[in-house]
Every structure is written in C-alpha cells, then in structure tokens.
C-alpha cells in the first residue's frame, strides 16, 4: 500500500487528470502530470508538471522514477515508451491493458479470444480489400479506424452502395475494423475498480444517451430490468479479472433489441459516464481510482440519492457569432438550482463539440430528475 504523502504520476493532462488530482490531494497524495501541451487543465492543479512528448524517453523516464506509481487519464498514449520503461517504475493499470484498449482491432480480437460477447466484426489491414470486408459483415455496418478513436471520430456508417464506396475511399491506406450495425434499446456503461489484491467494486450501471457520438446524458439508475443490470456488472467484473486490472476500467455496452448485452468499448481510466459519482455516490470514480492504484481499500459505491442525471457541457453552450465566441452560457440557471452540481474543467478556449464541463442533478424520482436536467440544459443554452 502506498501511504498518503507519496507521489502519483498521471500520463495525460485533461479534465480527467484534473479531477483525479483533486481527489488524490484530498487523500494526502502529491500528483505529478506528464502532458505534451503546455496548457492543460490537470497541470494547473498538480504539484508538478512535465511538458514533453511521450516519445522523449529521457524526460519520461525521469518522470516515472520521480513517482511512486504512474497511471493514465486517457488511453491514446504510445505504448512502446511504456514497454521500454516498465523497469523504471510501477504502472497501474499495466501498459498491456492500455495497448488493448487503444486499438479497436486489438480490443475486439481480445474480446473474441476471451469469449466475451461483442459486436460481430471483420478486420482490414492496410492495402486490404475493405469492400470485401464490409460485404462479409453485411449492411448496415460501421467502418472504424483501428487506432485512436473516441467520441465518434474515425468512423463511418455504411448503409448502401454509395456509402460503401465513400468508406472504401475514406479509409484507403488505413487499418480498419468493420462492425455489424447493432439495433439497440440503449447504451450502458459499467465502471469497475480492482486492486492488486483482487478486491473488486462495480459502480451502479449508467444508461447513456449520445448526441452526435458524444455523451449527452448519463442516467442513474439505468432504466432496464434488474437481471440485466446484474448481468452487466458481472460482465465488467469478469473482464477486469481476465485483464488482471489494477485501477479503474470503464466497459461500454449495447443492450440489443433481443435482450443481449454486447461489449462495445473499454477504457482503463475514469470515464465521462462516471462523473455523476462525484455528487451522487459515496465514493467518486476519481477517489476510487486513487484507492485502486495505491492499494488502499476500495470505497463504498452506494448511491447517495435515489436518482441522478449527468449532463455534459460542450463548447456549443457558449454564444457564437459565426466562428467567434461572443458570450458565456447562462451559469445562473444551474447555480440557483439546489439539486444541481456544476463542474467546469478550466479550459480557456471553448470550441463546439469540446467538453468544457458537466453538471449533475440529483432527486428522488428518476423521471422528474431527468426532466429537470433537460430543462437546465436548455436554460444553459438560452
């Protein structure tokens, strides 16, 4: 166990690192951030920050040696430097999990090899026959880049011959994954924490609503049958155990029209759909991440309110004239609501589609809480 007072290193300087640093500080740890860009949300609140490329082995090794454990706040970090430096420190989760999660093809292949339910897929190497791969899966389908995809980036839905031709042209020269289109009732996610001793805790299952491929609302508890919630939790726990996870893992799932639960993606870090835990759970996902990577006992994951809805705040909430930002969102609409909790990420420049913050609404009735969250989101944009 790493006692409070030790130094935790985080690779990545975004908002997840910022909120991790806040939780670590409350537990008495120091946080160091390694982030290539000089202006990052996490660096602002850390005890020390290094700004250098992930491929700078000298800088990265010095950073790792200066920390008692190193973790991640996003998965798109080159793994080769971590492999070369694994002798220099302790990484939780291990870099091999990062390697699986950051590549759609490796991720799907790992799920298939380990017999976890997943979307049917085909692979296409660089220079391969993407047309044939798409036809082998059938229409409709989705073509995705193999590497470094998130928030709907690097993917194209294929529904007919015209969109198939566009996909073949768009993905020329890239490794790609072709997935069967899934008709689903809803999207779910489960956050699971696991310690080096094998202690495991699953947060309540979230129901997620996306708009333009970006998470819009997370609804707790998810509006599905209890036996499906238990199935989702058991699936996440089994994946964490098979990966030999130490840390936090987000497992994104489809609940299909036929009642199947399929794994869509995994992320070995805190997750956007877990932000509600900061205001409606006995232990936030960020504190749980700290506990898991330091070897502290894992915290209670009971909800502290019967209902909670998290809403993402994107740069679209700012007032725009063309491509010029001309005004702030109506913050007072949220701040005057006693059951709403506002969190902003300290990003200096809003952009449409950029995650700038979130708010969570708690209540006693789920339908009323969801409606209140929708009204507050509309008021924010007014």
CATH 3.40.50.20, applies to 7-91: yes
Give the CB-side neighbour count of residue 253, counting CA atoms within 13 A: 29
Kindly state the percentage of the chain with pLDDT values over 70: 98
**Number of C-beta neighbours around residue 117 at 10 A:** 15
What pLDDT sits at residue 308? 98
What pLDDT sits at residue 147? 74
* Cβ atoms of 265 and 252 closer than 8 Å: yes
* Cβ atoms of 305 and 280 closer than 8 Å: yes
Q: Which two tokens stand for residue 120?
A: 């049917």
User: Is 153's pLDDT higher than 70?
Assistant: no
User: Is 148's pLDDT higher than 80?
Assistant: no
What pLDDT sits at residue 183? 87
Residue ranges in the chain assigned as alpha helix (H): 15-26, 57-65, 79-84, 95-101, 104-113, 130-137, 161-170, 226-243, 277-280, 285-294, 332-335, 366-380
| Residue 140 burial by Cβ neighbours in a 10 Å radius (0-12, 13-18, 19+) | middle
* Cβ atoms of 289 and 247 closer than 8 Å: yes
As beta bridge partners, residue 121 has 179
* Cβ atoms of 15 and 345 closer than 8 Å: yes
What letter would DSSP give residue 91?
B
Domains of the chain, residue spans? 7-91, 120-180, 184-380
What pLDDT sits at residue 321? 93
First vs last C-alpha separation in the chain: 49
User: Is 357's pLDDT higher than 80?
Assistant: yes
What pLDDT sits at residue 382? 83
Peptide bond into 221 cis (omega under 30): yes
Q: Which residues contact 7 (CB under 8 A, 6 or more apart)?
A: 29, 30, 31, 32, 47, 66, 67, 68
Q: Give the sign of the dihedral formed by CA 263, CA 353, CA 103, CA 11.
A: negative
Q: What CATH homologous superfamily does 184-380 map to?
A: ATP-grasp fold, B domain (3.30.470.20)
Distances (CA, A) of 9 to 35, 129, 178, 183, 270: 11, 43, 36, 41, 15
What letter would DSSP give residue 205?
P
Query: Residue 155 — very low, low, confident or very high, per pLDDT cuts 50/70/90?
Result: confident
CATH 2.40.50.140, applies to 120-180: no
As beta bridge partners, residue 180 has 141
User: Is 151's pLDDT higher than 70?
Assistant: no
pLDDT, one tens digit per residue, over 16-44 is 999 999 999 999 999 999 999 988 999 99
Determine the longest span between alpha carbons in the chain, in angstroms.
Answer: 60
Long-range interactions of 29-34: CB distance < 8 A, separation 24+: 29/2, 29/4, 29/5, 29/290, 29/294, 30/5, 30/6, 31/7, 32/7, 32/8, 32/63, 32/66, 32/67, 33/9, 34/9, 34/10, 34/59, 34/60, 34/63
What letter would DSSP give residue 333?
H
What pLDDT sits at residue 149? 57
Check residues 92 and 172 and name the one with the higher pLDDT: 92
pLDDT, one tens digit per residue, over 84-142 is 999 999 999 999 999 999 988 899 999 999 999 999 999 888 888 999 999 999 999 99
User: Is 335's pLDDT higher than 60?
Assistant: yes
User: Is 13's pLDDT higher than 80?
Assistant: yes
What pLDDT sits at residue 154? 77
């Amino acid at each position: 166990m790493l006692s409070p007072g030790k130094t935790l290193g985080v690779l990545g300087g975004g908002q997840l690192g910022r909120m991790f640093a806040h939780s670590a500080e409350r537990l008495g740890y120091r946080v160091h951030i390694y982030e290539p860009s000089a202006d990052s949300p996490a660096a602002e609140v850390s005890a020390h920050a290094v700004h250098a490329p992930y491929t700078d082995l000298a800088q990265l090794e010095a950073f790792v040696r200066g920390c008692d454990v190193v973790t991640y706040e996003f998965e798109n970090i080159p793994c080769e430097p971590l492999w070369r430096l694994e002798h220099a420190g302790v990484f939780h989760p291990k870099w091999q999990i990062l390697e699986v999660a950051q590549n759609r093809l490796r991720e799907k292949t790992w799920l298939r090899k380990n017999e976890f339910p997943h979307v049917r897929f085909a692979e296409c190497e660089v220079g391969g026959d993407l047309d044939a791969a798409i036809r082998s899966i059938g229409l409709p389908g989705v073509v995705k880049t193999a590497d470094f995809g998130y928030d709907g980036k690097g993917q194209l839905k294929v529904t007919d011959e015209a969109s198939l031709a566009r996909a073949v042209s768009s993905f020329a020269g890239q490794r790609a994954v072709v997935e069967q289109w899934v008709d689903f009732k809803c999207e779910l996610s489960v956050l699971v924490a696991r310690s080096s001793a094998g202690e495991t805790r699953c947060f309540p299952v979230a129901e997620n609503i996306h708009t333009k491929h970006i998470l819009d609302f997370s609804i707790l508890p998810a509006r599905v049958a209890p036996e499906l919630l238990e199935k989702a939790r058991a699936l996440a726990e089994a994946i964490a155990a098979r990966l030999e996870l130490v840390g936090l893992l987000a497992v994104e799932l489809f609940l299909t029209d036929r009642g199947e639960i399929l794994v869509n993606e995994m992320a070995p870090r805190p997750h956007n759909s877990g932000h509600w835990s900061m205001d409606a759970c006995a232990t936030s996902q960020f504190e749980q991440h700290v506990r898991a990577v330091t070897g502290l006992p894992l915290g209670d994951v009971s909800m502290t309110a019967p209902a909670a809805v998290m809403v993402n705040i994107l740069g679209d909430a700012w007032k725009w004239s063309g491509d010029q930002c001309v005004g702030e969102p109506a913050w007072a609409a949220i701040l005057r609501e006693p059951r709403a909790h506002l969190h902003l990420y300290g990003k200096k420049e809003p952009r449409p589609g950029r995650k700038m913050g979130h708010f969570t609404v708690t209540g006693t009735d789920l339908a009323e809480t969801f409606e209140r969250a929708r009204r507050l989101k509309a008021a924010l944009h007014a």
